[in-house]
Amino acid sequence: MKDELWRLGAVELSEGIRSRQFSSRAVVEAHLKRIDDVNSALNAVTVRLDEQALSDADAADWAQATGQHLGALHGVPITVKENIDLKGSNTTHCVTALQGARASDDAPQIAALRSAGAIPIGRTNMPEFGVRWHTDNALRGATKNPWGADRTPGGSSGGEAAAIAAGMSPLGIGNDYAGSIRWPSQCCGITGLKPSYGRIASANMAMAAAAPPLSVQMFAVQGPLARQVKDLRLALALMSGPSGSDPDWVPAPLIGPEIERPIRVAMVLDDAGPDLEPQVAKGIHRAAEALVDAGYRIEECTPPSLNRAAELFFQSIFRYGIHKKSQGLMRAAASSGYGASMDAHWDAYMAAGGAPSNDPMLDRFAIAQAWCEWMVDYPLILAPITTRRPLDAGFDLRGGEDAMVWMRSLRMVVVANFLGLPSVATPVGESEGLPQGVQLIGTRFREDLCLDAAEAIEQRLGRLTPVDPRPN
């Protein structure tokens, strides 16, 4: 049994520890052994915290033996992306120049998970500054997808997604500015939650030194990745607590008011993008069938001003984001791969913005209001994450039409960030050896509706991971 503990989810591990089926030390040892066995093929876990993790596990077992209070994640291992503050570890953003940036305290969501008994066992890989769509950098190197070494694990939470998919961690903590949780979840066949803007408090050393650009403040959120939806639900509850460091945190209830049944779900298909691949479309239909079986009502339709919302997102990140304010400094600190990716996509980014707006944030309000009214009738949206299957590693170094197609494929990803809406990515099957995934977008602060629907899909279609690393 001990050798198979890495196959279990976070809730299952917590329940097993509480019932004394196994110890926290056995759980942590099993995951460290799994890292020993498979990480060399993937390069997903970049920093190991073995000594401290085993010490924490022994302390957790002692606390249980002496009748102390047990938190909801008592003795359960987690992994943490390298751009999130973890006390005593370095917040490198996978940039060589920042490899000595040691965090003096935990980020709010990490502090909350530790208070619930979670044990960090490692840090995970990401592209430099979290900007690329593929996980590679000069400091740590590239992460490979466990479904195929020639495929990208996604970015920017690609290390987390690969680690979870391969069983090295039951629960990972990442962030999402333009799909950085959901795209890796799609690539690696796991589930991930991008919460509503304001749901989970966000703070780190960089914010203390200088205020982040407006687009980062409004579009980037912290969230969990896992193999089971119930693990996302528990992580969300724990991570949603108050913080004195985030002025945008909102004390919204985890469960919203009851809505009329059957819940109407807008399936976005034909208008999701002109390059919707057949395998992705089949996955959406498979998810729709599962939801119908669960009692949901599916209607194919398109949200208001979808294309314009995506265009305004890209305009916003250039006018109020890192690309305008910090590009010179970031290029100087990052590797040639970072610069090559930006150069390859620069024209595509510009084209994706569409007709220039006098103020994209001002125009955002009218679209957000239209969506709010429209989602009274459609509280959930079933849509592709991207319209492409997991692409080949390094695809984001190609420019031209490939870059244009990629930008078009992202519209249903970036609109959730632009409007501050919650979204759950969930796997729906496998096609030609690669995972298929969809996302469920809800109204603001209705993560519960997204999680309920994702769990209904999971119960009917099953899970795809953990998997052993596969060759090309």
- Known catalytic residues are 81, 156, 180
Measured at the CA of 277, the angle between CA 271 and CA 278, to 5 degrees, comes to 100
Amino acid at 156: S
As a whole number of angstroms, the distance between CA 354 and CA 359 comes to 13
Amino acid at 439: Q
How many angstroms from the chain centroid is the CA of residue 20?
32
- Dihedral angle, C-alpha 256, 257, 259, 265, nearest 10 °: -10
Residue 43, sorted as left (phi over 0), alpha (psi -120 to 50) or beta, turns out to be left
The number of residues in the chain equals 472
As a whole number of angstroms, the distance between CA 117 and CA 75 comes to 6
Contacts of 435 (CB under 8 A, 6+ apart): 147, 186, 187, 188, 189, 390, 427, 429, 464
Q: What is the bridge-based pairing of β-strands 434-442 and 221-226?
A: unpaired
Q: At residue 145, what are phi and psi to the nearest 5 degrees?
A: -80, 125
Angle between helices 24-42 and 50-65 (to 10 degrees): 160
If one counts every other C-beta atom within 10 angstroms of the C-beta of residue 399, the result is 16
- What sign results for the dihedral spanned by CA atoms 193, 194, 195, 200? positive
In order, the DSSP letters of 124-180 are E---GGG-SSS---TTT-PPPBTTBTTB---SSSHHHHHHHHTTS-SEEEEEESSST
Q: In the structure encoding, which two tokens stand for residue 69, read together?
A: 């209070």
108 by Cβ neighbours in 10 Å (0-12 / 13-18 / 19+) ranks as buried
> Is the CB of residue 317 less than 8 Å from the CB of residue 215?
yes
What would you report as the CA-atom Rg of the chain, rounded to the nearest whole angstrom? 21
SS (HEC) of 77-112? EEEEECCCCCCCCECCCCCHHHCCCECCCCCHHHHH
